[in-house]
């Protein structure tokens, strides 16, 4: 007898994750190779005319992409009826934190030379850095509590805590928009995608709440 369709689909999840790892790591590896090329002089233009700005943009962009993919997993489950989408949410979330940390480290190390007093002053005085740092800070507890063990320990509070990811998404849009200053195309694109994902989560919840009130 052939195994149920759900079992066959579940068997593919580890293989898909195995494929996703190199895809998600690709940009970090590419940037690392480019940095090495610049430092050794084999390709001084590997990071463009402004290497620090290029590294900052690339790490920030991939943090946003990974976060968006993480947010898309619940809507994808509802749209397709395939529950295994949720099993990719943690992977995308961890890579969002990974690239966000690289983004912050690039700014702190390469732009400020690890001058923590300057970094603190920027966090306080420059709004786009304030919201960007806040987004990273909120990602920390979500990353720490992303394991199954923490899900069991926290119970219902785990879901309440991880709703912060939507606030993080809003902060990322603000950070991106303030950062670019003039070309708002990609911040608008990410903002629209975030709004759609929020609506896809909020509308079914409102419908369920309405049905519950009707039954009561």
What pTM was estimated for this model as a whole? 0.87
- Residue 25 reports pLDDT greater than 50: yes
Quote the CA–CA distance of 189 and 41 in Å, as a whole number. 37
Q: How far is CA 139 from CA 5, 73, 133, 213, in A?
A: 35, 17, 10, 34
112-116 CB contacts, 8 Å cutoff, 24+ apart: none
Eight-state DSSP code of residue 131: H
User: And the tokens for 10?
Assistant: 């579940």
- Boundaries of domain holding 108: 10-209
Q: Span 188-201, mean pLDDT?
A: 85
In a domain, 194, yes or no: yes
In a domain, 63, yes or no: yes
Nearest to 90 by CA among 29, 33, 24, 37: 24
In a domain, 5, yes or no: no
Nearest to 103 by CA among 154, 34, 56, 61: 56
Q: What is the pLDDT of residue 216?
A: 47
Query: Bigger pLDDT: 13 or 202?
Result: 13
In a domain, 3, yes or no: no
Per residue in 79-89, pLDDT (tens digit) is 888 889 999 99
In a domain, 44, yes or no: yes
Element of type H or E holding 62: helix 51-80
In a domain, 152, yes or no: yes
Q: What is the pLDDT of residue 50?
A: 93
Domain count, the chain: 1
In a domain, 4, yes or no: no
Q: What is the pLDDT of residue 212?
A: 44
In a domain, 174, yes or no: yes
């Amino acid at each position: 007898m052939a195994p149920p369709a759900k079992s066959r689909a579940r068997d593919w999840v580890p293989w898909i994750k195995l494929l996703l790892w190199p895809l998600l790591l690709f940009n970090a590896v590419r940037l690392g190779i480019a940095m090495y090329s610049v430092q050794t002089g084999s390709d001084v233009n590997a990071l463009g005319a402004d290497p620090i700005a290029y590294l900052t943009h690339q790490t920030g962009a991939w943090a946003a992409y990974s976060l968006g993919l993480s947010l898309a997993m619940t809507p994808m489950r509802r749209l397709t009826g395939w529950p295994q989408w949720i099993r990719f949410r943690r992977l995308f979330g961890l890579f969002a934190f990974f690239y966000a940390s690289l983004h912050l480290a690039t700014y702190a190390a390469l732009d400020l030379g690890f001058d923590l007093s300057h970094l603190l002053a920027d966090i306080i005085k420059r709004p786009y850095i304030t919201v960007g740092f806040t987004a990273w800070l909120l990602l920390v507890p979500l990353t720490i509590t992303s394991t199954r063990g923490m899900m069991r320990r926290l119970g219902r509070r785990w879901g309440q805590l991880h709703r912060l990811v939507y606030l993080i998404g809003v902060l990322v849009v603000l950070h991106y928009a303030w950062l670019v200053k003039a070309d708002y195309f990609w911040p608008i694109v990410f903002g629209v995608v975030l709004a759609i994902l929020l609506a896809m989560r909020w509308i079914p919840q409102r419908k369920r709440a309405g049905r519950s009130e009707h039954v009561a």
